[in-house]
């Protein structure tokens, strides 16, 4: 019996997505069964963590044999709701925005960019390689509703991020992925995931300095 999602720790949800990557490779290579030890090695965690994470959602695998790759992958996709198509829009068509739109891995996993917007009118009308035309932000409300957008992706400069978040939530978007270096505010009914690349780099710098035993630069 699957546990209520509200009781599942957020890191567990993140690790489920990590588990799905090697499972996809194993399925493609024709591997029928994988042990928790092997899956843990492929994902950089310990076997007990794999078993604990999966236990939140029911009984998987057979003791002494392992997990059936196809069934475990199917179960994880059902849990994460990646067994359906999600429609995305993106606001901010700089280098990062363009790279995300052109990333084939998103489409492979069911995340389809349905619309692209930019605050710079000089970019409006430009046709992207994926086939989308860049639209003005004034059309966010119209297109978000018509295209049934589920997730809004923000890749604008910091000073535009909150205004864009407001436009997206006002248009009915209930989930935001924000790459701008600003903690945008949203209604309680909207889930926001912040991806601050600067924070990630600072975390790497911290660990790298200690790994090398070097003193921080002044």
| CATH number of the domain encompassing residue 40 | 1.10.10.10
Same domain, 64 and 99: no
DSSP 8-state secondary structure symbol assigned to residue 186? -
Residue 102 is part of a domain; what is its CATH number?
3.40.50.720
Residues making up the chain, counted from first to last:
218
Q: For residue 216, tell me if it sits in a domain.
A: no
**What contacts 217, CB < 8 A, 6 or more positions away?**
none
Confidence label for 5 from pLDDT (cuts 50, 70 and 90): very low
> CA 23, 29, 32 angle in degrees (round to 5)?
65
Using CA atoms, how far apart are residues 19 and 14, in angstroms rounded to an integer?
A: 9
Using CA atoms, how far apart are residues 164 and 137, in angstroms rounded to an integer?
A: 8
Q: For residue 210, tell me if it sits in a domain.
A: no
**pLDDT(172) > 70:** yes
Q: HSE on the CB side for 93, CA within 13 Å?
A: 26
Q: Which of 50-64, 110-124, 141-155, 156-170 has the lowest mean pLDDT?
A: 50-64
Structure confidence by residue, pLDDT tens digits, 15-66? 999 999 999 999 999 999 999 999 999 999 999 999 999 999 988 877 778 8
DSSP bridge partners of 34: 67
Q: Are strands 175-178 and 151-154 parallel, antiparallel or unpaired?
A: parallel
Q: For residue 206, tell me if it sits in a domain.
A: no
Contact of 141 with 171, CB cutoff 8 Å: yes
Q: For residue 209, tell me if it sits in a domain.
A: no
Percent of the chain with pLDDT over 90: 77
- Its domain, for residue 180, covers 86-199
Residue 83: closest CA among 71, 91, 94, 93: 71
Neighbours of 202 (CB within 10 A): 10
Phi, psi (deg, nearest 5) at residue 32: -85, -30
**pLDDT(170) > 50:** yes
Same domain, 25 and 43: yes
- In the numeric block, which tokens belong to residue 78? 């059902």
- In the numeric block, which tokens belong to residue 97? 């925005």
Same domain, 190 and 106: yes
Q: For residue 204, tell me if it sits in a domain.
A: no
Structure confidence by residue, pLDDT tens digits, 130-143? 999 999 999 999 99
pTM assigned to the model: 0.84
Same domain, 93 and 76: no
Q: For residue 56, tell me if it sits in a domain.
A: yes
């Amino acid at each position: 019996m699957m546990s209520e999602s509200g009781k599942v720790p957020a890191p567990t949800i993140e690790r489920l997505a990590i588990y799905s990557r090697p499972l996809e490779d194993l399925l493609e290579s024709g591997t029928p069964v994988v042990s928790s030890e092997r899956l843990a090695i492929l994902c950089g965690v310990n076997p007990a963590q794999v078993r604990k994470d999966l236990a939140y959602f029911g009984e998987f695998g057979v003791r002494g044999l392992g997990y059936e790759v196809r069934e475990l992958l199917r179960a994880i996709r059902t849990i994460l709701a990646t067994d359906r198509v999600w429609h995305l829009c993106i606001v901010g068509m700089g280098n990062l925005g363009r790279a995300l739109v052109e990333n084939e891995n998103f489409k492979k996993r069911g995340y389809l960019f349905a619309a692209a917007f930019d605050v710079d009118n000089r970019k409006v009308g430009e046709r992207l390689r994926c086939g989308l035309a860049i639209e003005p932000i004034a059309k966010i409300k119209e297109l978000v509703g018509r295209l049934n957008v589920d997730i809004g992706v923000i890749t604008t400069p910091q000073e535009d991020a909150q205004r864009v978040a407001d436009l997206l939530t006002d248009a009915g978007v209930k989930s935001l992925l924000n790459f701008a270096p600003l903690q945008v505010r949203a209604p309680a009914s909207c889930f926001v995931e912040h991806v601050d690349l600067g924070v990630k780099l600072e975390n790497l710098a911290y660990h790298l300095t200690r790994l090398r035993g070097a003193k921080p630069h002044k």
